[in-house]
Amino acid sequence: MEKWRRNLYILYVGQFLAMASMSCVTPFLPLYLQEMGLTDHDEVLLWSSLIYGANLLTAFLFAPIWGKVADQHGRKLMLIRSGLGMAITISLMGVASGPIHLLLLRLLNGVLSGFSPAAIALTATSTPKEKSGYALGILHSGSVAGTICGPLLGGLLADQFGFRAVFFATGCCILAATLIVIFWVTENFEKKGEKPEKTGFVDDFKQIVARKPIASLILSAAIVRTAMIGTLPLIPLYVQLLAPSQDNVVLFAGMATAAMGIANMIAAPQLGKLGDKC
């Protein structure tokens, strides 16, 4: 198998597990908080939103930093750092004793994340140009599938084994994916001999968005992501409201959350091929 194809398939699995780990808590987060002792509906809703958004906030803030480190030391190293960091923090969420502990761990998980940007960068630099659209489409489908199907997997596991077991299982899966990256993903990274000129984050950001298509792409991507995942932490409470007598609320919440991702996962590679032709 060609090296870029092998890397792509391995990173697809890693991308799926990494994104699923960030969203698998969605279908049972409010119920997990209720198990911790929160009973007031408004309080549960507030903590659910804070805890779910905390991971995404710190991931957003630290993604440019890890991207800069990846440019200097290689993308594979960032994949390993992110995978090991998330495996530890997610496993620790299974022993959290209160909402504050869970919030802090979600914040830390976002700080240590960065698997997705590193995987995209490694795929883009190691794939032949004529296949780049197809490869990035495949990788994007893994990202979306993980983000949306993560709640379904989390709901199934929580329904069968309990809330805390989901975190331990997810941590083990990410650790396994990281070990696969260590031993089977290859990168021909060549460090530049000259030291790059040191610039601040603001200057780098201005230089990036100055390129005409970048700013509009960032804005449109932010809008799409907001529309796709903005309501995810509210779905379990909505399902609980619609079917208060059901015992498997977690499973139904996971199924409702995952419905959108299956179509996206199937369509992304085909749209990538279409982009290569156009």
Smallest CA-to-CA distance from 157 within 24, 55, 13 is with 24
How does pLDDT run across 185-198, given as a tens digit for each residue?
988 877 765 555 66
Can you tell me the mean pLDDT for 139-168? 84
- Are 88 and 79 within 8 A, CB to CB? no
pTM score: 0.79
Q: Domains of the chain by range and CATH?
A: 3-187+200-277 (1.20.1250.20)
Helix (H, G, I), strand (E, B) or coil at 62: helix
What DSSP state is assigned to residue 248? -
* Angle, helix 132-161 to helix 163-184, in steps of 10 degrees: 150
pLDDT bucket at 199, cuts 50 / 70 / 90: low
CA distances from 221 to 4, 127, 201, 213, 226 (A): 26, 23, 20, 12, 8
How does pLDDT run across 112-141, given as a tens digit for each residue?
988 888 898 899 888 988 888 889 888 888
How does pLDDT run across 217-226, given as a tens digit for each residue?
778 877 877 7
pLDDT bucket at 165, cuts 50 / 70 / 90: very high
Helix (H, G, I), strand (E, B) or coil at 266: helix
Question: Mean pLDDT across the chain, nearest whole number?
Answer: 83
Residue 147, C-beta contacts closer than 8 angstroms, at least 6 positions apart: 19, 20, 22, 23, 228, 229, 261
- Are 55 and 22 within 8 A, CB to CB? yes
What pLDDT sits at residue 248?
74
- Are 36 and 98 within 8 A, CB to CB? yes
Residue 111 has pLDDT above 70, yes or no: yes
Smallest CA-to-CA distance from 30 within 256, 257, 249 is with 249
Q: Which of 117-126, 168-177, 195-204, 259-268 has the lowest mean pLDDT?
A: 195-204
Residue 31, C-beta contacts closer than 8 angstroms, at least 6 positions apart: 163, 236, 240, 249, 250
Classify each residue of 74-108 as buried b or exposed e, where b means 16 or more C-beta atoms within 10 Å of its C-beta: bbbebbbbbbbbbbbbbbbbbebeebeebbbbbbb
Residue 52 has pLDDT above 80, yes or no: yes
What DSSP state is assigned to residue 36? T
Can you tell me the mean pLDDT for 47-65? 88
What pLDDT sits at residue 237?
77
Residue 241, C-beta contacts closer than 8 angstroms, at least 6 positions apart: none
Helix (H, G, I), strand (E, B) or coil at 187: coil
